[in-house]
Amino acid sequence: NAGVTQTPKFRILKIGQSMTLQCAQDMNHNYMYWYRQDPGMGLKLIYYSVGAGITDKGEVPNGYNVSRSTTEDFPLRLELAAPSQTSVYFCASSQTGTGGYYGYTFGSGTRLTVV
Amino acid sequence: RKEVEQDPGPFNVPEGATVAFNCTYSNSASQSFFWYRQDCRKEPKLLMSVYSSGNEDGRFTAQLNRASQYISLLIRDSKLSDSATYLCVVLHSGGGADGLTFGKGTHLIIQP
């Protein structure tokens, strides 16, 4: 069981470039999330989805976009990358909206540097 | 603003010792509480949920104090493999899928 798979693991972008961070889960979870984690900081929610075709903004959505065309996939799009978007990005999924007994399952993360 | 506060540490503890750390939360109506573990350069993983009556899982004990608005994590007979950052996570009242707040974490180092 793969769980949550994120690609790429590392990426260096130049200012103004765009990219898509991929996230896929094979647990048939309805809920999926994108977080960013800056050094010494707590995880911040960027976007989340409660099911295919439904997405909503989290705490720090500016500069990002998402889509959820299938239950399995939840890609995060960065348009016009800026140095402030240098961070570690985690995708997560859960069986219920609050994580419940099993909590959130996180992917291994994407380390993004914008230069 | 809904806050979750943790002592960042690091807590340097000899192997075999008992260590405890707390997490305070600002929203008195918070519903659910969790401890996650995050190893260096890895993803967070659920360690345990925190129930009102307190709960224990092997060497780990979690407690909730609603009156003082904090949760605690106690690790007994600490192992080298317990070295990690422990994240306090709180679900706020009425919060749905966007209702979780993650603390910045407490860094624990178990020394041989």
pLDDT-based confidence at residue A115 (cuts at 50, 70, 90): very high
Percent of chain B with pLDDT over 70: 95
Stated as kind and residue range, the H or E segment containing A41 is none
On whether the CB atoms of residues B48 and B60 are closer than 8 A, the answer is yes
Residue of B nearest to A4 (CA): B43
Do A9 and A110 touch, CB atoms closer than 8 A? yes
Does A57 have pLDDT greater than 90? yes
- What does the mean pLDDT of chain B come to? 92
- Yes or no, beta carbons of A98 and B32 under 8 Å apart: yes
Please say whether the dihedral angle defined by the alpha carbons of residues A90, A91, A94 and A97, taken in this order, is positive or negative: positive
Is A103's CB within 8 Å of B34's CB? yes
> Could you tell me whether strands B100-102 and B44-50 are parallel, antiparallel, or unpaired per DSSP bridges?
unpaired
Cβ contacts of residue B53 below 8 Å, gap of 6+? none
Lowest mean pLDDT among A13-27, A72-86, B26-40, B74-88: B26-40
The candidate with the shortest Cα–Cα distance to A88, out of A46, A36, A43, is A36
Identify the band that residue A39 occupies on the pLDDT scale cut at 50, 70 and 90: confident
The C-alpha atoms of residue B86 and residue A92 are separated, in whole angstroms, by 18
- pLDDT at residue A1, as a whole number: 65
- A101: chain B residues, CB-CB within 8 Å: 49
Q: Please provide the average confidence, as pLDDT, over all residues in chain A.
A: 94
Over residues A30-59, mean pLDDT: 94
d(CA B112, CA B110): 7
Confidence of residue B94 (pLDDT cuts 50, 70, 90): low
Beta-bridge partners for A46: none
Q: Going by DSSP bridges, is the β-strand pair A105-106/B4-6 parallel, antiparallel, or unpaired?
A: unpaired
Distance of CA A45 to the CA centre of its chain: 9
Helix (H) or strand (E) holding B50: strand B44-50
Nearest CA-CA distance, residue B101 and chain A, Å: 8
Quick: pLDDT tens for A72-113.
999 999 999 999 999 999 999 998 777 666 789 999 999 999
The partner residue sitting opposite A97, judged by closest CB among B44, B96, B104, is: B96
- % of chain A residues with pLDDT over 70: 96
Among the partner residues A98, A101, A107, nearest to B91 by beta-carbon distance: A98
- Provide the token pair at A70: 């299938």
Q: What is the pLDDT of residue A2?
A: 77
pLDDT of residue A91: 97
**Chain-centroid distance, C-alpha B15:** 20
Select the more confidently predicted residue: A42 or A35.
A35
